[in-house]
Amino acid sequence: MSYFGSSMTAPADEAEPLQHGKAASCSCPVCGGSEQSPWKQGNLSSSELRPEDFHITDARYGVTLPLVRCKDCEFIFATAAGAAGIIALYEQMEDPDYDSSGSARRFQMEWVIREALRSTPYAKTLLDIGAGTGMLVAEAQKQGLTACGVEPSHALSRLAVERGLEVVQGTYPHRELDGRKFDLVCLVDVIEHVEDPAELLRAAASALAPNGLLVVITPDISSVAARVLGKRWWHLRLAHIGYFTPKTFARLAGRCGLEITSTERARWFFPVAYLADRLAVYLPFLGPLNRWFRKAPLFRDLFAKVIPLNLFDSSYFLLGNGRGSDR
């Protein structure tokens, strides 16, 4: 039984169906378990994927690769075969809409840094893994930190460099960052994108300075919003190949020798126009109304306004090097 119950149905255009009731045979990235059951049919196979399918601003909610659910720990993920070749696609990905929304996203970056510094007021250095165009790196610098990042997309990392930010192209670990230690290492909406989250967590932890902390933000598939929306939940996207609950993430952290020191819900900041457009994905009749509101002088300023939003469906974890074991 899924988290969402039998009353929730997946989008009608799904392709590559899974045979429900037939167990998958691969290794779970969280617990290492060998048995999984089909959880959601895929809309596309890995061979059909294009770089644009990984846009940060993708609004095709409910469109995913085939997903399975571990019978032991209940982690939901795309199998290694299903996720093949994703890194190469990320390297080619461009997302102009993401960069153009930077003025609004800056508020979220401020919040991430502010929350992290509450627990590490001594922090002087920061590494952002999956840095995009360097928005978090830039905000960290404004807060007085020495900050750098790593980003697989050639286009996004190039924009960051053009703005004078230290963002190297590639994945972590990265040869240009070898040996450097950081008081804060950030994985903001990144771990759900990788095939081997344990490998990424260990690599991130290895970059921590003594008393350093790891910041992880990731969607929570056990949240009320996820259960209500079912397989139309906005975090179900092609780019997301692993879906955590607080329980499965805690299990992964312990396996990687990390200790969760605090947990809260992540906060977001969006223009009203952005939220109105995303709501229209679920309520199509709002599309024409949104276009009318944009043209009406009375509502133009309202649509440009940036507001905080907490839908209680993303977790913010702070982690330190603990006494966990990989056994």
Q: In this predicted structure, what is the pLDDT of residue 214?
A: 98
- Looking at residue 137, its pLDDT comes to 98
> 């095709």: which residue's tokens?
60
Q: Are the beta carbons of 217 and 316 closer than 8 angstroms? A: yes
Predicted local confidence at residue 25, as pLDDT: 59
Per-residue model confidence as pLDDT tens digits over 268-305: 888 777 777 778 778 788 788 778 777 787 777 777 88
CA distances from 305 to 97, 112, 300, 301 (A): 17, 20, 9, 6
Q: What are the tens digits of pLDDT across the range 53-64?
A: 999 888 899 999
Identity of the residue numbered 244: F
Q: Taking the domains of the chain in order of start, what are their residue ranges?
A: 96-218+249-268+310-321, 271-306
DSSP 179-212: T--EEEEEEES-GGG-S-HHHHHHHHHHTEEEEE
Greater confidence (26 vs 197) lies with: 197
15 band by pLDDT with thresholds 50, 70 and 90: very low
Q: Would you say residue 326 has pLDDT above 50?
A: no
The region of weakest confidence among 131-135, 232-236, 308-312 is 308-312
What's the count of helices (H) and strands (E) in the chain, helices before strands?
Answer: 11, 14
Question: What does the pLDDT read at residue 284?
Answer: 83
Please determine, for residue 193, whether its predicted confidence score (pLDDT) is greater than 60: yes
CA separation, residue 82 to residues 45, 61, 210 (Å): 7, 19, 38
Q: Band of the pLDDT at 184, cuts 50, 70, 90?
A: very high
Mean pLDDT of 222-228: 96
* For range 244-250, the mean pLDDT: 98
Residue pair 270/307 in contact (Cβ under 8 Å)? The answer is yes
The pLDDT mean for the chain works out to: 87
User: Taking the model in full, what pTM does it have?
Assistant: 0.85
- Correct CATH for 96-218+249-268+310-321 of 3.90.79.10, 3.40.630.10, 3.40.50.150, 3.40.50.720: 3.40.50.150
Distance (Å, rounded) from C-alpha 182 to C-alpha 212? Answer: 7
* 79 has pLDDT over 80: yes
Q: What is the percentage of the chain residues whose pLDDT exceeds 70? A: 90
pLDDT-based confidence at 4, cuts 50/70/90? Answer: very low
Q: Is the pLDDT of residue 318 over 70?
A: yes
The mean pLDDT of 3-23, rounded to a whole number, is: 36
Q: What percent of the chain has pLDDT over 90?
A: 66
**Which residue, among 215, 211, 91, 219, has the nearest Cα to 150 in the 3D structure?**
91
Q: What is the pLDDT of residue 22?
A: 47
Express each pLDDT in 144-159 by its tens digit.
999 999 999 999 999 9
Q: Which amino acid, 202?
A: R
